[in-house]
Amino acid sequence: MSSNFQKTTSNFFVTFLIGLIVVSFMFTGYESMKGSPNAVAKVGSYPITAREYQMEYNRQINFFKNAIFGGKDLSSQDIEKFGIKDTALRNLVQAKLQLEFANRAGITAAPTQIKETIKRFDFFQTNGQFDINKYKSLLAANGLSPADFESDITNQVFADNAQTLFSKYPVSDRYIDEIGRFKAMRFNANVAEVKEEALRKFIDVSQQEINEYLKNEANKARTENLFKERKATLDVPEKLKASHILITTPGGESEKAEKKIKEIAKEVTPSNFKKMANKYTEDPTGKGKGGSLGIFGRGRMVPEFERVAFQLRPGSVSEPVKTNFGYHLIYVEKKIEAKEAKYTDFEKEIAIELIRQSKEKELKELMKEVSEKLAAAIKARNMKEVANLKKKYGFDLDENVQFNRFEGSLGQINIAAEQTKDIFSGLKDKEANFYNFALAGKTLIVAIEKSFDKDLPVFDREKEKNGLQMVLSNKIKQAVLKEIGDEVAVKQFVNL
**pTM, entire model:** 0.56
pLDDT at 413: 93
Under DSSP, the state recorded for 313 is P
Q: Where does 383-441 show beta strands of DSSP type E?
A: 396-404, 408-409, 434-439
Q: Other C-beta atoms within 10 Å of 381: how many?
A: 12
Give per-residue pLDDT as tens, 157-208. 888 887 787 777 777 888 888 888 888 888 888 999 999 999 999 999 999 9
pLDDT at 6: 46
Q: Mean pLDDT, 10 residues at a time, over the chain (496 residues)?
A: 42 28 27 50 86 87 83 80 89 87 83 87 87 85 80 83 77 86 86 94 95 95 94 90 91 83 94 94 89 90 92 95 92 94 95 95 95 92 94 93 87 90 76 83 87 64 82 81 82 71
Long-range contacts of 422-426 (CB under 8 A, 24+ apart): 423/448, 424/185
Record: fold of 13-166 = Triger factor/SurA peptide-binding fold (1.10.4030)
Report which of 354, 370, 301 is spatially closest to residue 330, judged by C-alpha positions.
Answer: 301
pLDDT at 205: 95
Residues listed for the chain: 496
Give per-residue pLDDT as tens, 371-387. 999 999 998 889 999 99
Q: Assign domain 239-336 to its CATH architecture.
A: Roll (3.10)
CA atoms within 13 A on the CB side of 376: 8
User: How many whole angstroms separate alpha carbon 23 and alpha carbon 253?
Assistant: 28
- CA distances to 192, 212, 356, 386, 440 from 203, rounded to whole Å, are 21, 17, 7, 20, 20
Domain ranges of the chain: 13-166, 186-203+359-449, 239-336
> What contacts 297, CB < 8 A, 6 or more positions away?
237, 238, 239, 240
- CA distances to 29, 49, 106, 155, 216 from 52, rounded to whole Å, are 12, 5, 25, 12, 57
**Phi and psi at residue 215, in whole multiples of 5°?**
-70, -30
pLDDT at 454: 57
